[in-house]
Amino acid sequence: MTSLATSIGGRTFDNCMMNAAGIRCQNKKDLDALVASRAGAYVTKSATPQKRAGNPSPRMHTLPNKGSINSMGLPNNGLDYYLDYVVDDQHKRPDATNFLSVAGTSLEDNLAMLHQIQESEYHGFVELNLSCPNVPGKPQVGYDFDRVNEVLDEVFKFYTKPLGVKLPPYFDLVHFDQIAAILNQYPLTFVNSINSIGNALVVDPQTERVVIRPKGGFGGIGGASVKPTALANVRGLALRLKPEIAIVGTGGITTGVDVFEHILCGASMVQIGTQFGYEGTAIFDRLAEELKAIMNQKGYTNITEFRGKLKTFDD
Hey, which residues are catalytic here?
A: 131-132
Binding part of the chain for ligand SIN, among 31-39, 127-135, 150-158, 173-181 by CB under 6 A, reads 127-135
If one asks whether residue 275 binds ligand SIN (CB under 6 A), the answer comes out as: no
DSSP summary character for residue 120: S
If one asks whether residue 214 binds ligand SIN (CB under 6 A), the answer comes out as: no
Single-letter code of the amino acid located at 229: T
Residues 6+ apart with CB under 8 A from 301: 1, 2, 3, 295
Residue 206 CA to residue 138 CA, distance in Å, equals 32
Among 220, 249, 266, 277, binds ligand SIN (CB under 6 A): 220
The minimum distance between CB 166 and ligand SIN, in angstroms, equals 7
CA torsion angle for 81, 82, 88, 91 (degrees, to 10)? Answer: -160
Which residue, 196 or 225, is less far from ligand SIN as judged by CB? 196
Cα 177 to chain centroid, rounded:
21
Which residue, 217 or 256, is less far from ligand SIN as judged by CB? 217
Which residue, 227 or 292, is less far from ligand SIN as judged by CB? 227
Among 134, 192, 250, 275, binds ligand SIN (CB under 6 A): 134
Residue 268 CA to residue 10 CA, distance in Å, equals 12
Among 79, 132, 230, 232, binds ligand SIN (CB under 6 A): 132
50-79: which residues touch ligand SIN (CB under 6 A)?
Answer: 72-74
The minimum distance between CB 130 and ligand SIN, in angstroms, equals 9
Q: Is 193 helix (H, G, I), strand (E, B) or coil?
A: strand
Among 44, 98, 196, 233, binds ligand SIN (CB under 6 A): 196
Which residue, 47 or 263, is less far from ligand SIN as judged by CB? 47
Residue 148 CA to residue 133 CA, distance in Å, equals 15
Beta 218-222 vs 197-201: how paired, if at all?
A: antiparallel
If one asks whether residue 46 binds ligand SIN (CB under 6 A), the answer comes out as: yes
Cα 147 to chain centroid, rounded:
20
Which residue, 219 or 256, is less far from ligand SIN as judged by CB? 219
Residue 85 CA to residue 79 CA, distance in Å, equals 10
The minimum distance between CB 21 and ligand SIN, in angstroms, equals 6
Residue 219 pairs with which residues in a beta bridge?
200
Which residue, 249 or 256, is less far from ligand SIN as judged by CB? 249
If one asks whether residue 22 binds ligand SIN (CB under 6 A), the answer comes out as: yes
Binding part of the chain for ligand SIN, among 126-134, 174-182, 225-233, 258-266 by CB under 6 A, reads 126-134
Cα 295 to chain centroid, rounded:
24
The helix-helix angle for 256-265 and 282-298 (nearest 10°) equals: 60
The minimum distance between CB 57 and ligand SIN, in angstroms, equals 13
As a residue count, the chain comes to 315
> Between the CA of residue 108 and those of 48, 49, 114, 237, 247, what are the distances in Å?
11, 10, 10, 28, 27
Residue 249 and residue 230 in contact, taking contact as beta carbons nearer than 8 Å: yes
85-124: which residues touch ligand SIN (CB under 6 A)?
Answer: 103
The minimum distance between CB 33 and ligand SIN, in angstroms, equals 19
Binding site for ligand SIN (CB under 6 A): 22, 46, 72-74, 103, 129, 131-132, 134, 195-196, 220
